[in-house]
Amino acid sequence: MADVWTTLITNTAYLSGLLTLDYSLKKVKSAYPLVALYTDTFPAEGLAALASRGIPAQHIRYLLPTKSHKDYSSDPRFYDCWSKLTPFSLTQYDRVVQLDSDMLALRNMDELMELELDAPAAAAQGGPDSKRVFAAGHACVCNPLKKPHYPKDWIPAHCAFTHQHPDPDRAQTEGADPAVGPLGFMNGGLQVVNPSAEVFQQIVDYMDGNAASMDFADQSLLSTLFRGRWVPLPYVYNALKTLRWENVHAPIWRDSEVKNIHYILTPNPWDELDAEGNSTSKDETHRWWADVNKERKLSERTQGLPDDGF
């Protein structure tokens, strides 16, 4: 049994992100490997890119509801997100920390492997003493881009991060109690999990019966099924890039404290590079990713590895 980071990959659109995420974890001297969870849609050239860099790959089934369905045509990325529930099933590991491939580790966060969670049997049984089934960061429900298909109650007043503005020092080390906002919504980009076949079956059963009502796939499911039973992490572990924006949650953001940045929403950092690999984005955080990506590619060239080339 072992502890691992995992990340889902279904196509090569996010392969640059995955390769740089892996490099960044090694750069900050994580003691744990990143395992790429790939589906049938991930091509052979992608697997070759992983193998040449020594990144372990594990095939998983593409997870979708079978009895209840939700139309995500306004945001098709959510079809893939059901498969991000798979880490709950990976009982060959003691601890899994699932990361999105559009993340960048800036500081070591191996302490997540030691975070106290419910034992798998206790989590499966439930009951009043089961309050730590998994850990995650909050979703930002401010909807700063005013996406029309987002729920109408996704407003700053309902956001857990808004409630941390008066005490930014505390926000660096504590996640807000989910009860401070009426939504209690987590972000699925980083999930700390003790795998359990029984808990995973509960998740699949709930998904199959209720998917039609879940606007945000895995995030909606976990926030609802385990309401009041998950551990809120401070933003530094899943630092959504939008939190840094003025008029969002700049009052709590500190560059020096962020351990892992999450490049939610498009364009992705690798979509805004010039011919030399420099970022052309107006978002400073995209330049952070571009700098690490250039460092990775230079290191790979010295090892004789071909350019990403996918």
Reduced 3-state DSSP string for 8-37: EECCHHHHHHHHHHHHHHHHCCCCCCEEEE
By DSSP bridging, strand 260-262 and strand 239-240 are: parallel
- The confidence score (pLDDT) of residue 74 equals 66
Residue 44 has pLDDT above 80, yes or no: yes
CB atoms within 10 A of CB 228: 11
State the Cα–Cα distance between residues 135 and 234, nearest whole angstrom: 10
Residue 76 has pLDDT above 70, yes or no: no
Residue 309 has pLDDT above 70, yes or no: no
Query: In the structure encoding, which two tokens stand for residue 255, read together?
Result: 């560059």
State the Cα–Cα distance between residues 96 and 261, nearest whole angstrom: 19
State the Cα–Cα distance between residues 27 and 259, nearest whole angstrom: 12
Q: What is the reported pTM?
A: 0.96
Mean pLDDT for the stretch of residues 217-236: 97
Say what percent of the chain tops pLDDT 70: 97
Secondary structure class of 230 (helix, strand, coil): strand
CB atoms within 10 A of CB 310: 14
- The confidence score (pLDDT) of residue 75 equals 67
- The confidence score (pLDDT) of residue 82 equals 94
- The confidence score (pLDDT) of residue 310 equals 58
All domains in the chain, ordered by first residue: 3-302 (3.90.550.10)
Contact 280, 272 (CB under 8 A): yes
Q: Which of 28, 107, 20, 113 lies closest to 36 in space, CA to CA?
A: 20
- The confidence score (pLDDT) of residue 183 equals 85
What confidence tens digit (pLDDT) does each residue in 132-163 have? 999 999 999 999 999 999 999 999 999 999 99
Length of the chain: 310
Task: Tell me the pLDDT of the chain averaged across its residues.
Answer: 95
